[in-house]
Amino acid sequence: MFAIPGICALIIFILARPQEFLPLFQKLPFLYLFCAAAIGGFVLDLKLRRLEPVAAPTLPWIAAFIIWATICNAVKHPEALIPSTIAMVIIFTLYGVIAHGAQRFRIFQIIAATVMGVCLFLAAVCLHQSWQPRTCVAEDWRHPGEGIPDGRPCELAEDCMGTDAEPGQDYRCEKVGMFGTYSIEDRVRYRGELHDPNELSMTISIGGLAFLVAFAIRKRTAGWIVFATLGGLMIFWTVIETMSRGGMVVALAVGGVYFVKRYGFAGMALGGVGALPLLALGGRSGDAADASTQLRYEAWAAGLQMFKMSPVFGVGARQFGQHHFMTAHNTYVLVLAELGMIGFFIFISILYLSVKILWLGVSQLARVPGAEAARTWGLALLSSYVGLLFQINTLSFAYHSVMWIFLGLASAYWSCVRHHKPDFEVKLEGRDLAAVAAICFGFAFVILPIFLKWKQVA
């Protein structure tokens, strides 16, 4: 399969971003080269009949989302049309090559192993970061959230303002790890798109923890069970070090899906009680956490107001920050505000259809002989989606690479099942569309306004 090397390299470069800290990868535009390699390999596989030219069920909806986002920008912010379109093309390419480049479970497992490997790498780097002493970091005002460690030890930010400090320079006192990474308020994080501790914790849980379990089930060897156990513990420890309340819930939810599958919903309550002490290990508390939560609610209220002012076209894709001083911190609010009700309906339809693919794959193949791979990977992705759909309630994730990687994986799963079961068709029927419409209107006109009023924000 000629597309696979390009796809795997693309995933590694987008998530791990070696081009940012290894000079060797800064000499050429490897991201674009790997993108071209993935597309070229896909075309070659089609010509060699190693892949079937069959569109995934989500493809029309994904295309509609990209087109509508472009229309919204053309109407509301034509000056941002070109850069926004380029960004949309990149995430569409990422989804497309994953969704259609893996039509066999053997190939699917290579992509899944790549995602899992990157997540383990991220967890290892950030866990190492948590063990490091605090060091002064000079903030980069041109790139918020970034900075340069200067090697001076500290306990508080005030310790960095001595005679060795650069005049007029702001400093942080953080734990500095490998590859130029450093914590934020002692919360471990990576860099690039995963510079936020909450996004990091969710990513390593849905891409690392879920896939470790799946590989252990598939391999069923002592070596893999030990590897999955140690890898799972490392990921769980890293999630604790991110101090992400949502991340802890996601990690427990991923395992909870397997628990429900094994013991049923009756055992879910017992598992929830057992998880309560673990929840106490993660998450922030105190005035800083309360202030962060309040700011998040204010951003949601601002997003709702943007939607009311422009319910059809919204304020334009990636334009939330032009109308509020911070991002939405809620993917559903973000899409509603930026793309209006039409864009929100399309987005929820994509998520609904992706979950439906996984649910039908797991349920319809539950007792089919020889379908163990389909059941295992369907359940793994379903557990990932449970965590993803929960956590994006507090993250601006609509255009995030991790989101589009998993949208691609759900569609790739459909392609793999269909290869062995040609009658496996999944689409949004009338009752599905009615359910999506009810979700969209209920969220925009009932749930969100009532919640904000309850929190005394709107």
Model confidence at 273: pLDDT above 60: no
The pLDDT assigned to 180 comes to: 85
Q: Residue 175 forms beta bridges with which residues?
A: 134
Name which of 26, 125, 68 is nearest 349 in CA terms.
Answer: 68
Greater confidence, 246 or 412? 412
Average pLDDT over residues 67-86: 89
Name which of 418, 7, 447, 15 is nearest 204 in CA terms.
Answer: 15
Residue 407 burial (10 A CB sphere; 0-12, 13-18, 19+): buried
Report the sign of the C-alpha dihedral through residues 237, 238, 244, 249, in that order: negative
Model confidence at 56: pLDDT above 60: yes
Residue 268 burial (10 A CB sphere; 0-12, 13-18, 19+): middle
Report how far Cα 409 is from the mean position of its chain's Cα atoms: 12
Q: Is 344 left (phi over 0), alpha (psi -120 to 50) or beta?
A: alpha
Neighbours of 39 (CB within 10 A): 18
pTM: 0.93
CA distance linking residue 46 with residue 57, whole number of Å: 19
Name which of 384, 108, 112 is nearest 258 in CA terms.
Answer: 384
Greater confidence, 377 or 455? 377
Average pLDDT over residues 142-150: 76
Token reading at 72: 């919204």
The pLDDT assigned to 21 comes to: 82
Report how far Cα 120 is from the mean position of its chain's Cα atoms: 15
The strand order across the sheet containing 134-139 reads 147-153, 134-139, 171-175
Model confidence at 457: pLDDT above 60: yes
The pLDDT assigned to 245 comes to: 87
Greater confidence, 393 or 262? 393
State the pLDDT confidence band at 349, using cuts at 50, 70 and 90: very high
Locate the domains of the chain by residue range. 3-130+191-454, 134-176
The pLDDT assigned to 293 comes to: 82
Average pLDDT over residues 294-299: 90
The pLDDT assigned to 27 comes to: 78
Contact 457, 449 (CB under 8 A): no
- Kindly report the average pLDDT of the chain as a whole number: 89
Strands 134-139 and 147-153: antiparallel
In SS3 terms, 245-261 reads as HHHHHHHHHHHHHHHHH
Model confidence at 36: pLDDT above 80: yes
The pLDDT assigned to 55 comes to: 92
State the pLDDT confidence band at 62, using cuts at 50, 70 and 90: very high
